[in-house]
Amino acid sequence: MKSRRLFAITCLVPAVLVVTAFFVIPAVMLLFIGAGKGPDGEAGLWRYLAVLTTERYRSAMVSTVILSLLVTAVTLVIGGISGVFLARNRFAGRGILVACLTFPLAFPGVVVGFMVIMLAGRLGLIASISVALGGDRLVFAYSMAGLFLGYLYFSIPRVLLTVMGVAEKLDGRLIEAARSLGAGPWAVQRDIVLPALAPAFVAAGSICFATSMGAFGTAFTLATRIDVLPMVIYQEFTESANIAMAAALSVMLGLVAWLILALARLNGGSSVAAAG
């Protein structure tokens, strides 16, 4: 008995060490810094509320959450449909297509940002086409729309792979049974396929949302005009040297992301990766 308990404790040591060193200690420090003295010489918990009271922080938080929710929703639609299709159909070039679709997993946010500029920047593809068609130069890379595009691009593979994994395991007999009972293609998707994929959607959507909340590289590449919360934190940290404010905003960003993931977990079963 005793040696068995010792064994179990020994097995936990690496995890406990890593979590303590790289999560617990920094998080606690962040909490203290956020409440500590700032450049204005004032200390206090008011900074945590600044995200609600100060217009600039509040609008950054709101737009970050809305952007992340929007990216998650659109990614789920695109990734979900493609994932189910790719899982259920075999055709020439399928392997190459899947490889292309999952390619963005390997790109850092900076590269994704650069690709958005090439597509929708001042000298980008869309701008050239819109000019060639006699219209105005269409440029939206350096705005929320550009950011949305970039986030969408690197979120799709995560959803696609999760949905494909679950869809491939879906029992084909269930669909045959539903069809024999008179269900057409839409009814089969609504009543059989979607409910079976719901846990995968919640899991993939959560990862997608959390990534979008914290993504920085793409926003940084696309210019500083975009006020998403990670950019604001960076600016507080570097330009204003307001480390206390940056820490407080970081804590609030983590808290909001965690809260929304916890809600998803409550409503969608147990397979959500991020929220405990």
Tokens 């050239």, located at residue? 128
Q: Verify binding: residue 88, another protein, rule CB under 8 A.
A: no
227 forms part of the interface with another protein (CB under 8 A): no
Least distance (Å) between residue 86 CB and another protein: 19
Q: Does 171 bind another protein (CB under 8 A)?
A: yes
Q: Are 100 and 86 in contact (CB under 8 A)?
A: no
173 binds another protein (CB under 8 A): yes
Binding-site member from 111, 183, 223, 274 for another protein (CB under 8 A):
183
Smallest CA-to-CA distance from 145 within 123, 110, 121, 109 is with: 121
The tokens 């701008």 sit on which residue?
A: 127
CB burial readout 131-170, b (16+ within 10 A) else e: eeeeeeeebbbbebebbbbbbbbbbbbbbbbbbbebbeeb
Contact 104, 157 (CB under 8 A): yes
Q: Does 269 bind another protein (CB under 8 A)?
A: no
Among 132-140, 166-174, 220-228, 264-272, the segment contacting another protein (CB under 8 A): 166-174
Piece of 63-71, 144-152, 189-197, 206-214 that binds another protein (CB under 8 A): 189-197
CA nearest 117: which of 81, 86, 150, 93? 150
- For residues 42 and 176, which CB has a smaller minimum distance to another protein in the complex? 176
Per CB under 8 A, residues contacting another protein are 171, 173-174, 176-184, 187, 191-192, 195-196
